[in-house]
Structure 1
Amino acid sequence: MLTLHTAELLVAGPGSAPLPGGAVLVEGDRIAGVGPFADLAAAYPHARARRWPGVLTPGLLVRGGDVLLERTYYPDDPYEVTELGTDPISGAAELEELKMTEARWGNSARRGTQKLLARGVVAVTGRFTIPAVRTAVVRSGLTVLPPAASTPTTPSLDPFAGRGAAEEAFYGVLEAGAPARFAVFAVADAGELAARGATSCVATVIGGRLLHRRR
């Protein structure tokens, strides 16, 4: 099935001129076309249309995914928040007190990957050594890349943290034939995107599938 994703503004990649009313045509797990929504809708009248507020961009890359998912614990809401609070837990001493098991790491990683998807993340860097965490990451749809030389000392769930511009966090370019992975943010432009952060994400698509949608 063909699906047209359109937003008020489309930024196809780093250095690309913003396209008002731009759209991405998706067929299966690939991008079949990029351009003005009116043109693509006229050329493919039977395509399903999804209209999003804000800016549509390539999906984002987070550095240090192994630190975020194998050395950070995400409390299970609502079952653990009374005891542990809602903030992620890191630090050797704090994790030692939790008596982490592989199964518990796997459950935490699933919650962590959902937080990443909710921030428009489609790829992470890192080397995962806990089998249950590795499984959670693979099942999430996130692309795993080798550890980056520029990994920050304290990785953040926000891909824009430590970046000079929003486009520095883009992973890939939106063009025909490319994998269908992108995100939409409820902001006016890319400049506001960096200022407000990735929690403004309203939708994340990986492999042509809508894996996050803000309710």
Structure 2
Amino acid sequence: MRTLHTAPLLRRTPDGEAVPGHAVLVGGDRVEAMGPLAELIEAYAGVRVRRWPGTLGPGLTHDGPLPMAPTPRERVHALLRHGVTTVLAEHLTDPALRAAVDRSDLLVLSAPVPPHLLPGGRADLAVHDADGTCLVTVVAGRIAHRRT
């Protein structure tokens, strides 16, 4: 099912210009379109709309060892709580940790790549509030973390 994710502000890159009134259309695990919310709602009548507070942007890349926690699953969840959708392979030498990352659908890269949102790209999104707290993390099109 297609979903429009929108927030008061949208950034295509973590440090890019914040644009008001825009949205990201997600279909499956891909970004299908981006643009003004009103235009996307008109073009995709009946689409589910998720409205989030804060700033919507690409998921973040974690460039370092994963946070310590009692289990591999909890280590991955600690990343999701911060809006991380990508990790580096060099930090996944423990097979149990790698399995937990694979189950979560986090993207694993051999080298850091600046995160960005673009049509046709993987639907890895995060919403952060004004103080930087992650409110929502979307990994490959599905909500993997939502702050309650």
TM-score, length-scaled by structure 2: 0.91
Contact persistence 2:3–2:49 (CA under 8 A): yes
Q: How does 1:42-191 map to 2 (within 5 A)?
A: 42-64=42-64, 67-68=65-66, 72=68, 74-75=69-70, 108-127=71-90, 128-146=92-110, 171-187=114-130
The structure whose residues are more often strand, as a share, is 2
- Aligned match of 1:153: none
Shift of 1:129: 2.3
Contact persistence 1:124–1:142 (CA under 8 A): yes
The structure whose residues are more often helix, as a share, is 1
CA distance in structure 2 between the aligned counterparts of 1:180 and 1:39, rounded to whole angstroms? 20
Q: 1:123 to 1:42 in 2, by over 3 A?
A: same
Which structure 2 segments of 5+ residues have no match?
none
Which structure 1 segments of 5+ residues have no match?
76-107, 149-169, 188-195
Give the partner amino acid of 1:4: L
> Which 10-residue stretch deviates more, 177-186 or 15-24?
15-24
Contact persistence 2:61–2:115 (CA under 8 A): no
SS at match of 1:68: coil
CA distance in structure 1 between the aligned counterparts of 2:111 and 2:2, rounded to whole angstroms? 35
Runs of 4+ in structure 1 off by over 4 angstroms are none
- Aligned match of 2:18: 18
Give the partner amino acid of 1:206: V
> Can you list the C-alpha shifts for 1:1-53, whole angstroms capped at 9, x where unaligned?
11000000000125643210110001111111001111101111111000000
2:31 equivalent to 1:31: yes
Give the partner amino acid of 2:84: V
CA distance in structure 2 between the aligned counterparts of 1:209 and 1:14, rounded to whole angstroms? 20
- Aligned match of 1:206: 139
CA distance in structure 2 between the aligned counterparts of 1:147 and 1:27, rounded to whole angstroms? 27
Aligned residues: 147
CA distance in structure 2 between the aligned counterparts of 1:122 and 1:57, rounded to whole angstroms? 12
Give the RMSD, CA atoms, in angstroms: 1.8
TM-score, length-scaled by structure 1: 0.64
Shift of 1:145: 1.8
Q: Percent identity between the aligned chains?
A: 46
Give the partner amino acid of 2:120: G
Contact persistence 2:14–2:58 (CA under 8 A): no
